[in-house]
Amino acid sequence: MMVRVLCAAAMVLAGCSASTGSTPTPGDQAVEVSGAVRVAAVGDIACDPDAPTYTDCHHDETAELIRSQDVDALLALGDLQYDKGAADDWPQSYDETYGPLLDKTYPVPGNHEYLTPGAVPYFEYFGTRAGDPDKGYYAFDLGEWRVYALNAECNQIDCAAERTWLVDDIREHQAACQLLFTHAPRYSSGEHGSSTRPERFWAVAYNAGFELALAGHDHDYERFAEMDYAGNVVSTGIRSFVSGAGGRSLYAFESREQGSQVQFGDDYGVLFLALGSGSYSWEYRTISGETIDQGSDTCHGRP
């Protein structure tokens, strides 16, 4: 498979990083994916409207960025309404900015939603779009892609049952290109770092030939090489992204985990994907109008 990549800084070690003061360097453009479904993906979004730092939040600008791209779907990667996903906060903060995108939104809950018991306001706000409130996971089709919204908050739900459901759904749907998204990332070099909670899902997904995995939790952007569920870079692996700079705050990088290729934490932004027939492309854009990273690839398909 050929991958074309633009990075916003010089290549270093396992990849490239963009840090304060860096300027994107022109490079190969991503291959256009004709007839693709255009998708935005971002998490860690709306601030607590009663917090003294509310005016420092940038969720209004990331929402505007998404609306300007006329996407077909928004994958909302958890921690969507800080600090506790309280019922009174959703209409004052998240809904005022991201509400116009509701009919395109496919959410997963994050740890902050569950700071309110059962994440009840989250499920009430999104309704059937969030799946069964006792589960918080579901699957759907975007074009020719099968997409899995997975709940990795395994201290709140039965993730063993979720894994069984995932295996069954993959067997039932024979999509050549598959994508999963969670709140907690399997791999991250950010403040929270890599999480073992999604590993059980990654093991299933890797064996089924998934292409992409998306997550939030760390308030930054990071792209990883194709990897397996055990942390090895392999050509048959899953390419993963962290896109958690949705508005709440930004985190600094202090390390580079195995497989990390691009790191950026200096501005808020959104990951955009084009999901085509047997191929895909990605682009990370900031609210300042910069393109930090972009590339494309073909699906390696089911084994």
Beta strand pairing status for 138-142 and 105-107?
unpaired
Q: What residue has token string 């929402």?
A: 63
The answer to whether residues 66 and 89 touch, using CB atoms and an 8 Å cutoff, is no
**Tens of pLDDT along 30-62?**
667 767 999 999 999 999 998 887 888 999 999
Can you give the pLDDT at residue 29?
A: 56
Give the three-class secondary structure for 54. Answer: helix
Q: What is the pLDDT of residue 247?
A: 94
E strand intervals along the chain: 4-7, 11-12, 15-18, 37-42, 73-76, 105-107, 138-142, 145-149, 177-181, 212-215, 221-224, 239-243, 260-264, 269-275, 279-286, 291-298
Structure tokens that stand for 215 in this block: 């997550």
Q: Which pLDDT value is given to residue 183?
A: 97
Q: Give the model's confidence band at 15: pLDDT under 50 very low, under 70 low, under 90 confident, else very high.
A: very low
Q: Is the pLDDT of residue 18 over 60?
A: no
Question: How does pLDDT run across 174-189, given as a tens digit for each residue?
Answer: 899 999 999 999 999 9
Whole-number Cα distances in Å, 261 to 5, 188, 221, 254: 10, 11, 11, 14
Task: Look at 255 and 80; give whichever has higher pLDDT.
Answer: 80
Mean pLDDT of 70-87: 96
Q: What is the pLDDT of residues 116-142, one digit of tens each?
A: 999 999 999 999 999 999 999 999 999
Please name the residue that has the structure tokens 């895909």. 280
Of 229, 85, 96, residue with least CA distance to 153: 85
My answer on whether omega of the bond before 83 falls inside 30° of 0, hence cis, is: yes
d(CA 1, CA 300): 8
CB atoms within 10 A of CB 258: 14
pLDDT reported for residue 12: 34
The pLDDT assigned to 56 comes to: 86
